[in-house]
Structure 1
Amino acid sequence: MWNKIISIFIAVMAIIYIFFIPDDPVITKITFKLIPMLLIILYALMQSAGESKKYKILIMTGLFICMLADGLIYWFIVGLITFLIGHIWYIVAFRHIKTSTIPKWAAILLICYGIGMAFWIAGTLWTKGDFVLAAAVILYIIVILSMGWNAFQTANKFAIIGAILFMISDSVLAINRFIIDVPFSDVLIMISYYGAQFLFAYSIHAHYSATRKNLLK
């Protein structure tokens, strides 16, 4: 009951932020941006964890770090570093519930994505003489690829879809900032981002349910 109510509030507040909150004043923009994440953290807190309490704690910590990054992204480098830490935290969480190897098709797609993004974004920055930023982009790509890779190894479809959405959000953000203006970039970035965080939160319950089902067998 309460999970459904909070889910509705998350969706409503995300829609309000994405479509109705103006860019100025910035403090109002940041405040409304953080509200959906606070609700997602509350949603994660309410999920049953069973024997996977550590996974729940790790996911909630990742959500909190990403929420901090949401506000800090207005100071781009600081926000980028904070998001990087958030990705690393999710990697640790996914490794905690790792159950299988990554499917070959997923591994190939992730590797191709990483190489393509590195050549396109980091390569463009390198040709412009932004060598430090190009190196930082490559590092970030490696980390988000690792996050996606480890998500696939959980066999938790909600963690996997969440990781893909997070990668899409980061990719649109990077392309829009460094390469070309992406139409409706803010909408694309935030819908995929909030979707990713919500699915990470729900993956706690999904993992608990799958574990409980296996134990009953």
Structure 2
Amino acid sequence: MDPRKEGMPLKTLSSQPSWPEALLKCLPVLCLVLFLGTVPSSGVCTQLLQGALLCSAMGDACLVWPETFLHGVAAFATAHLLYLRVFGLSPLRPGLLLLVILATATYLSLLLPHLQHAVAGPVVVYALLLAAMLWRGLAHGGSAGRGALLFTMSDAVLAWDSFVWPLPHGRLVTMITYYAAQALFTLSVLRSPRNKAD
């Protein structure tokens, strides 16, 4: 059976999933959750980010097993909804949204032919939420913008490496950019005037 024809992630299918592997994968993100819990007078943005990080950790664990792949996508989609709440809608920057939509549409047009129908729908919905998060992160600027770019790069590399063609050091690039993105999101919240005002 060709895993690509089944539309499932190659890295998940080729590994030997285990709970210790899942815990190790989640540990850096869970450490960020605990770190945010130690921040004195933390505001609503901090609490929302903690929720997003917990959803991300749940997604990390789910992606270890092939049968829970879509559960992982759902967990990360929920995380992006919380990131959107953290970044807010000001400044709006609609021109930036247009660029993000064009880039997302281009990437999806290359990715979708390699996905099974049952996986394609959830992946498209997830990609739209990721694009919205990227738009708001870039509009927010600073650490949030850099984090949003790295998170999007991580997901783009993961999807291509899993569904289309193996990339050199693809998994390493995916995880480094992903953990860096979560750290930058954490830094952006700690510096956020909105958070201090809550």
Equivalent of 2:153, from 151, 168, 176?
168
Alignment of 1:38-57 (within 5 A): 38-47=30-39, 53-57=43-47
Equivalent of 1:84, from 71, 77, 85?
77
Report the equivalent of 1:189: 174
Tell me how far apart the structure 2 counterparts of residues 117 and 183 of structure 1 sit (CA, whole Å). Answer: 19
SS of residue matched to 2:166:
coil
Cα deviation code 1:52-71 (max 9, x no counterpart): x1111111110111111111
Q: Are the aligned partners of 2:144 and 2:188 in contact in 1 as well (CA < 8 Å)?
A: yes
How many angstroms does 1:48 deviate by?
A: 5.5
Q: Are the aligned partners of 2:55 and 2:76 in contact in 1 as well (CA < 8 Å)?
A: yes
* AA matched with 2:124: I
RMSD of equivalent CA atoms: 2.3
Alignment of 1:65-214 (within 5 A): 65-74=55-64, 75-95=68-88, 98-102=89-93, 104=95, 106-125=96-115, 130-155=116-141, 157-208=142-193
SS of residue matched to 1:43:
helix
Cα deviation code 1:75-101 (max 9, x no counterpart): 211111111111111112212xx4312
Tell me how far apart the structure 1 counterparts of residues 99 and 178 of structure 2 sit (CA, whole Å). Answer: 20
Identity %: 24
How many angstroms does 1:195 deviate by?
A: 0.6
How many angstroms does 1:28 deviate by?
A: 2.1
Cα deviation code 1:172-198 (max 9, x no counterpart): 111111111111111011001101111
Q: Are the aligned partners of 1:44 and 1:204 in contact in 2 as well (CA < 8 Å)?
A: no
- Indicate how the Cα distance of structure 1 residues 25 and 65 shifts in structure 2: closer, same or farther if over 3 A, else same: closer
Structure 2 unmatched runs, 5+? 1-14
* AA matched with 2:133: M
Determine which structure has more spread, i.e. the larger CA radius of gyration: 1
- Indicate how the Cα distance of structure 1 residues 136 and 209 shifts in structure 2: closer, same or farther if over 3 A, else same: closer
Cα deviation code 1:119-168 (max 9, x no counterpart): 0111343xxxx32322222211111001111222324x111111111111
SS of residue matched to 2:168:
coil
Higher relative contact order (CA 8 A, sep 6+): 2
TM-score (normalizing by structure 2):
0.81
SS of residue matched to 1:101:
coil
Tell me how far apart the structure 1 counterparts of residues 102 and 92 of structure 2 sit (CA, whole Å). Answer: 18
Tell me how far apart the structure 2 counterparts of residues 87 and 72 of structure 1 sit (CA, whole Å). Answer: 16
Structure 1 unmatched runs, 5+? 1-22, 213-217
Tell me how far apart the structure 2 counterparts of residues 122 and 191 of structure 1 sit (CA, whole Å). Answer: 25
Q: Are the aligned partners of 2:90 and 2:140 in contact in 1 as well (CA < 8 Å)?
A: yes
Q: Are the aligned partners of 2:22 and 2:61 in contact in 1 as well (CA < 8 Å)?
A: yes
Cα deviation code 1:3-56 (max 9, x no counterpart): xxxxxxxxxxxxxxxxxxxx6572221121122112111222334666xx1111
